[in-house]
Amino acid sequence: MTDSTLVGLAAFSLIAGLSAYAVFAGADFGGGVWELFSFGPRRAEQRVAIDRAMGPVWEANHVWIIFVIVVLFTAFPSAFAAICIGLFGPLSLILLGIVLRGASFVFRAHAEDQPRLQHWFGFGFSISSLVTPFALGASAGAIAAGALKPDGKGGWLPIPWSEFFQPFPVITGLLAVCICAFLAATFLTAETVDPLREDFRRRAMIAGGGVALFGTLGLILSVDTAPELSHELLHGRALPLVVIGGVLAIASFVITLTGAYRLARHVAVAFVLVVLWGWGAAQWPYIVTPFLTFQQAASSDAMLVVFLSCLGAGAVILVPSLYYLFRVFKGTRPEIESDSA
Amino acid sequence: MSELMAARAQMGSSLAFHIIFSVLGIGMPLVLLIAEGLWLRTGKDVYRQLARTWSKAFAVTFGIGAVSGTMLSFELGLLWPRFMQFAGGIIGMPFSLEGFAFFIEAIFLALYLYGWNRLSRRAHFICGIPLVLSGFASTFFIVSANSWMNTPTGFTLDKDGRITDIDPIAAMFNPAFFTEYFHMLFAALVCTGFAVAAVYAAGMLKGRRDEYHRKGLAIGLAVAAIILPIQLVTGDLIAVQVTRNQPLKLATMEGLFHTTKSAPLTVFGIPNEETQTVDGGIEIPYLLSILAYNSPSATVQGMDAFPKENWPNPVMVHFAYDVMITVGSGLMLPGLIALFAWRRRPKWLENRLFLLMLLLSGPAAFVCLEAGWVTTESGRQPWAIYNILRVEDSVTTATGILPWFGVFSVVYVLLMVFGAMILLRMASRRRARLAIAQAQVVTGD
């Protein structure tokens, strides 16, 4: 039987990968959302600031989704199969979003002499920046609410779109979009100067309001839709994280208001991590609520040992490389043009 | 179209598309590094210009490759969840390691591409090294997973069909692994080399016969011409390996319907399942026995030694194999000519016919690549995991694959069109800049 410590470690790396994806790619998605909703007198400048912030790091930011997928199918293959069959439609939509987004971003960056084409790529980029996090958040909501069901023959039933667009998944989808927009705006306040900074500060407050609204609505809806989840969130082991999340949300609001932008960035990241780990804690021990636990879905001990060792060894190479990347491009010398020309 | 056919069509087109860009992702860092290294060594600005142009073009092809690779990682689950459920716990590890390798490549590509002004010359060059190594490593891990599908090892099935005794390391280093790895790696380098050479051959055919085009062509052709002879050797090693591990695949590739002593090699022709002969094929006596067993009198198993329900499609496999062998051997020609002409007849290298041949070698190398991939993948049919799990038992139970196949096909076409358009634009912009700079020199601005 599979060793529970190994399963715990594998589950930890899965949620850690998801956290990295949420923070790094989340901010990128948010950047795209703000391009879609760019308004006011400095629209063009806002767009340029978003592109400059994303350019060198977006590719690395989005590799985290591949990390999450490989952890899922290596360490929890039967859960991977269940999610892929059950959420076939939504996952195809997510995939389409990721593809359109990545391709439009690269194409737009290299089509600077064709404004019309650039405009269309920009539109593809920002619309898929909105749809993808929505579908991701809604898929997470559907899994948490127990929408995936076994077919009784050892397989799983694909969930129909009508079930996907229930209030609870829709709210978690909107929550995901707001979190991305909130992260992006907060990060951008630290990477721009006034008056652009003021624009992004205002956007951070708007998105923060959305996070508070949909977060609260989600908690309320979960009482009926996802009773086990809401029990853990409101009365059980995830309660401390919910409380900390609330405190961080208020703190982030106050800090952004006072203009301590670097601190605001850290608080925003902490908030996103608390939301994700709160979800993880509330859903534990289920990976597919309420039919499949992490333990039941896990690979053999032999596989998990080798796999976790590889993750450790990989991290030894990856973490310094990633640190170097961010130091070179997000460090203290923003004045040097990091243009690829 | 059945759901199974739709799934196969979607996976097939995704792979056929991705292989082009993944191959450039493996080969481009090497040619980049060669050009930049030559710049650092000789101080000639033309090499720096080549490296910078290539790094920009590579950013586009890498971006498309990253996107199509992400699609594949999703499609493995979306289309073949039952395959992944079976295989994930055995061969998932190389996929995870590939994730790391790809991550490293993305990081160092960003440093390389955006770091021309931010890093010292030395640091910039050094950033290219992990870029090359991570590309080679990605190939290592992905080919490991693919070769495991051909020669599945590292587990046992008990009598209820449950998987036990999993050994992920043994699965990774399965019997087909090493030959397949080197064959794929060298294919990537050869294709990239010819692609680069073809681009500059096209420029020279249009009359742009300057140092920049000559050097660009030379680097590309050198890489392709040095690697290709080694590639023919790995091809031969693969044939021996397939004979041992997948005799039915070998028989199908060669169009050998009947088990034969002193078997001839049949080139060209169309296998005919009814008459069990190869229509219009040319037989070279003893050659198959020699290739497979190093002995002219050896007996080679034919397709008739295996139940018919396990046969791959003989027409497709034999045809793809013929294309690979013919085109692959033909590609030796430009390298041989260049080798001969280099010292003795340098004028030949500027000859229109030679340049035309090089221009054709670019697409031809990729045709060869696709044909080789079709050979190995169709040759494994009807199995997803050879002799263990059939493709029809791997496909998803979800329905509605066909509309998504349609959507993603459109996406691929758009990716191709816009990708090509942007790369062409990039080249013409470079020329426009150059023309302006030259005009300034002439007028003394």
B70 min Cα distance to partner chain A (Å): 7
For B110, nearest residue in chain A (alpha carbons) = A56
For A339, nearest residue in chain B (alpha carbons) = B114
A59 min Cα distance to partner chain B (Å): 6
Nearest to B429 among A113, A300, A307 (CB): A113
C-alpha span between B33 and B128 (Å, rounded): 6
C-alpha span between B296 and B288 (Å, rounded): 8
Nearest to B78 among A78, A92, A105 (CB): A92
pLDDT digits (tens, 9 = 90+) for A98-140: 888 888 887 887 777 778 888 888 888 889 999 999 999 999 9
CB contact under 8 Å between B77 and A303, yes or no, is no
The answer to whether position A337 is within a domain reads no
For A109, nearest residue in chain B (alpha carbons) = B60
Residues of chain B contacting A92 with CB distance shorter than 8 Å = 74, 78, 404, 407
Tens-binned pLDDT, residue by residue, of chain B (445 aa): 788 999 999 999 999 999 999 999 999 999 999 999 999 999 898 999 899 889 888 888 888 888 888 888 889 888 998 888 888 888 888 888 888 888 888 888 888 888 888 888 888 899 899 999 999 999 999 999 999 999 999 888 888 778 888 888 888 999 999 999 999 999 999 999 999 999 999 998 988 888 889 999 999 999 999 999 999 999 989 999 999 999 999 999 998 888 988 888 888 888 888 888 888 888 888 989 988 888 888 889 989 999 989 999 999 999 999 999 999 999 999 988 888 888 888 788 888 899 999 999 999 999 999 999 999 999 998 999 998 889 988 888 888 888 888 898 898 888 888 888 888 888 787 788 877 877 776 665 5
Work out whether strand A149-150 and strand B389-390 pair parallel, antiparallel, or are unpaired: unpaired
B395 min Cα distance to partner chain A (Å): 10
C-alpha span between B131 and B127 (Å, rounded): 7
C-alpha span between A135 and A140 (Å, rounded): 9
C-alpha span between A299 and A296 (Å, rounded): 9
The answer to whether position A13 is within a domain reads yes
In the DSSP assignment, the letter for residue A339 is -
CB contact under 8 Å between B397 and A155, yes or no, is yes
For B120, nearest residue in chain A (alpha carbons) = A328
Neighbours of B125 (CB within 10 A): 18
Nearest to B117 among A74, A94, A336 (CB): A336
Res B283: pLDDT: 87
H helices then E strands: how many in chain B?
A: 13, 10
CA atoms within 13 A on the CB side of A139: 22
Structural domain boundaries, residue A153: 4-330
The closest of A90, A95, A86, A135 to A292, measured between CA atoms, is: A86
Residues of chain B contacting A102 with CB distance shorter than 8 Å = 63, 66-67, 70
The answer to whether position A341 is within a domain reads no
A271 min Cα distance to partner chain B (Å): 26
Coil, helix or strand at residue A286: strand
The answer to whether position A53 is within a domain reads yes
Phi-psi region of A125 (alpha: psi -120 to 50; beta: other; left: phi over 0): alpha
C-alpha span between A307 and A313 (Å, rounded): 10
Is residue A248 a contact partner of residue A270, using CB atoms and an 8 Å limit?
A: yes
Mutant choice from A74, A120, A300, A309 vs B, greatest count of B C-beta within 10 A: A74
Res B36: pLDDT: 93
**Tokens for B194?**
């010819």
C-alpha span between B262 and B289 (Å, rounded): 6
DSSP assignment of B412-441? HHHHHHHHHHHHHHHHHHHHHHHHHHHHHH
| ipTM given for this complex | 0.82
Res A332: pLDDT: 54
Cα distance from N-terminal residue to C-terminal residue, chain A:
56
pTM over 0.80: yes
Q: Tokens 């909107």 appear where? A: A174
Nearest to B66 among A59, A114, A336 (CB): A59
With a CB-CB cutoff of 8 Å, which residues 55-94 of chain A face chain B? 55-57, 59-60, 62-63, 65-67, 69-71, 73-75, 77-78, 80-86, 88-89, 91-92, 94
Size of interface A-B (CB pairs under 8 A): 226
Where b means 16+ CB within 10 Å and e means fewer, A72-86 reads bbbbbbbbbbbbbbb
Number of domains in chain A: 1
For B74, nearest residue in chain A (alpha carbons) = A95
With a CB-CB cutoff of 8 Å, which residues 229-268 of chain A face chain B? none
Residues of chain B contacting A327 with CB distance shorter than 8 Å = none
Q: What single letter denotes the amino acid at residue A329?
A: F
Is residue A271 a contact partner of residue A252, using CB atoms and an 8 Å limit?
A: yes
Alpha-carbon separation of residue A234 from A15, A278, A288, B54, B96 (angstroms): 21, 11, 20, 56, 36
Nearest to B88 among A80, A103, A322 (CB): A80
C-alpha span between B100 and A13 (Å, rounded): 14
Cβ neighbours for A142, distance < 8 A, ≥ 6 positions apart: A87, A90, A148, A159, A163, A164, A166, A169
Nearest to B100 among A100, A318, A329 (CB): A318
Tens-binned pLDDT, residue by residue, of chain A (341 aa): 568 889 999 999 999 999 989 888 888 888 888 888 877 777 777 777 777 777 666 666 777 888 899 889 888 988 998 998 899 999 999 999 988 888 888 788 777 777 888 888 888 888 999 999 999 999 999 999 888 888 888 788 888 888 889 999 999 999 999 999 999 888 888 777 778 788 888 888 888 899 989 999 998 998 888 888 888 888 888 899 999 998 998 898 888 888 787 888 889 899 999 999 999 888 888 888 888 888 888 888 888 888 888 888 888 888 888 888 888 877 655 444 444 43
**Tokens for A289?**
């609520």
- R_g (Cα) of chain A, nearest Å: 20
Residues of chain A contacting B97 with CB distance shorter than 8 Å = 310, 314
Res A57: pLDDT: 66
H helices then E strands: how many in chain A?
A: 15, 4
Alpha-carbon separation of residue A41 from A45, A47, A201 (angstroms): 9, 12, 15
Is residue B189 a contact partner of residue B26, using CB atoms and an 8 Å limit?
A: yes
Is residue A121 a contact partner of residue A104, using CB atoms and an 8 Å limit?
A: yes
C-alpha span between B77 and B95 (Å, rounded): 13
Is residue B380 a contact partner of residue B149, using CB atoms and an 8 Å limit?
A: yes
The closest of B330, B332, B329, B256 to B292, measured between CA atoms, is: B256
For B111, nearest residue in chain A (alpha carbons) = A325
Phi and psi of B187, rounded to 5°?
Answer: -60, -40
Give CA torsion, residues A268, A269, A275, A276, to 10 deg. Answer: 160
In the DSSP assignment, the letter for residue A23 is I
Coil, helix or strand at residue B282: strand
Residues of chain A contacting B59 with CB distance shorter than 8 Å = 106, 110, 340
The answer to whether position A339 is within a domain reads no
C-alpha span between A30 and A115 (Å, rounded): 23
C-alpha span between A65 and B73 (Å, rounded): 10
The answer to whether position A191 is within a domain reads yes
The answer to whether position A340 is within a domain reads no
DSSP assignment of B181-224? HHHHHHHHHHHHHHHHHHHHHHHHHTT--SHHHHHHHHHHHHHH
Residues of chain B contacting A163 with CB distance shorter than 8 Å = none
A210 min Cα distance to partner chain B (Å): 30
Coil, helix or strand at residue A340: coil
Res A187: pLDDT: 85
In the DSSP assignment, the letter for residue B284 is E
Is residue B175 a contact partner of residue B245, using CB atoms and an 8 Å limit?
A: yes
Phi and psi of B283, rounded to 5°?
Answer: -95, 130
Read off the CATH number of the domain in which A221 is found. Answer: 1.20.1630.10
In the DSSP assignment, the letter for residue B264 is P
A320 min Cα distance to partner chain B (Å): 10
Res A340: pLDDT: 42
* A21 interfaces chain B, CB cutoff of 8 Å: no
Neighbours of A164 (CB within 10 A): 20
The answer to whether position A200 is within a domain reads yes
